[in-house]
Amino acid sequence: MVISGKNKVIRLIAAAVSLVALATSAGCGAGTADAGKSDDIKQQTINPGKLTIATGQPAYAPYVIDNKPESGKGFESAVAYAVAEKMGFSKSDVTWTRTTFDAAIAPGSKDYDLNIQQFSMTPERKTAVDFTPSYYNPTQSVIVRKDSKYASAKTLADLKDASVAAMVGTTSYDFAKSKIKDDIKTFNDNVALSQALDSNQVDAIVDDTPTAVYVIEDNQVKNAKVLGQIGGSEDPEGMGIVLPKDSKLTKAASKAVSDMTKDGSLKKLQDTWLKEYTTDIPTLK
C-alpha cells in the first residue's frame, strides 16, 4: 500500500505525540516513586537507612551500663532502642556516636539524629534544638562525704554555709541555686564534679538522683553518701530526647515517646533500670 504524503505526515505527528505521552507517563511514575522515597523516614536520617543516636562520653549507669549504649542495657540505652523500633528502625539500623553535653544542645548543624543524655527541657534550649516529650522526670539529690561536718544535715538550711557544686547548665545547678543557696560552684562534667568532692574542693555536690546513687556505688567519691533528695526538685518539664532544630524526625520520635507513655512500656523501663536508684532516699526540706 502506498502512503500519501499527507497521511505520512499525520502518522509521524501521531507517533511523536505517543512518544511524548509515554515519556510523560514514565516521568510521572518516577516522580511518584521519588515522592514515596522522600516520605520514607529511613531516608530522612543523616545517614539514610541508619538512625544515628548520640550519648555522652563517658555515659554512666543507670542510664548506660558499662559505657556501652549499643548493648541496650541501661535506662537511656533501652529507651533509645524502644523509640527507634517504634519509628521503624531495627536494632541493627541504630548506630551510636558521642557528643559533649554542651555541644549537643548548641545551635547549628548536628552529626546525630537523636541525642539522649539526661537533657532537661528549658525555653532557652528549645530555641536551639527540638525535644521529644519527657521520658523521665527526675529529682535532684545532694552528695556529701561521710566525714564531712554536713554528713548529719537534715534540712537544706543546714547546708547554707557549705560549699556546694553542680554541673554547669543543668537542672541540678538550677535547683541547687534556688533551693540551697545562691552561690553554687560549677564544673563542666560529672567526672570533674565528683573529683571536686572527692578531693575536698567542695563540701557537697548536686546531681539527679539516679546519678547521685551511682556515684556512691561506683566509688567515684570515696567514703561518701547521698544525703537526700531536694524537696520539690522533681523536674516539671522532664528529660527529653534531643533532635536537631526542625528535624524531619521530631514528629515520629515524639509520637514514639508518647505512645510508650500511653502503653505503659516507658514505666516498665523506668522500673527495670531506675527503681533501685530512687527508692528509700530521704527528702531534705
The CATH number of residue 66's host domain is: 3.40.190.10
* Mean pLDDT in residue range 144-149: 97
Q: Are residues 223 and 246 in the same domain?
A: no
Q: Rounded distance, CA 171 to CA 201, Å?
A: 22
* Mean pLDDT in residue range 95-120: 95
pLDDT in tens, 1-50: 444 444 444 444 444 444 444 444 444 443 333 434 467 999 999 999 99
Residue 32 within any structural domain of the chain = no
What was the pLDDT predicted at 22?
40
What was the pLDDT predicted at 38?
60
What was the pLDDT predicted at 173?
95
Asked if the model's pLDDT at residue 147 lies above 50, the reply is yes
| Closest by CA position to 167, among listed 278, 37, 56, 4 | 56
Q: Are residues 130 and 162 in the same domain?
A: no
Q: Are residues 226 and 149 in the same domain?
A: yes
* Mean pLDDT in residue range 88-100: 97
* Mean pLDDT in residue range 137-164: 97
Look at residues 214, 230, 246 and tell me which one is the last residue of a structural domain.
230
Q: Are residues 130 and 146 in the same domain?
A: no
Asked if the model's pLDDT at residue 105 lies above 90, the reply is yes
Q: Mean pLDDT score of the chain, rounded to an integer?
A: 89
Q: Between the CA of residue 168 and those of 35, 189, 270, what are the distances in Å?
A: 45, 8, 26
* Mean pLDDT in residue range 195-210: 97
Say what the pTM is. Answer: 0.78
* Mean pLDDT in residue range 185-208: 95
Residue 16 within any structural domain of the chain = no
* Beta carbons of 78 and 269 less than 8 angstroms apart: yes
Q: Rounded distance, CA 249 to CA 265, Å?
A: 21
What was the pLDDT predicted at 36?
40
Q: Which residues fall within 8 angstroms of residue 154, CB to CB, at 6 or more apart? A: 284
C-alpha cell at 112: 546525630
pLDDT in tens, 241-264: 999 999 999 999 999 999 999 999
Q: Rounded distance, CA 255 to CA 271, Å?
A: 21
Q: Are residues 225 and 145 in the same domain?
A: yes
Structural domain containing residue 94? 46-137+237-284
Residue 162 within any structural domain of the chain = yes
Residue 39 within any structural domain of the chain = no
What was the pLDDT predicted at 15?
46
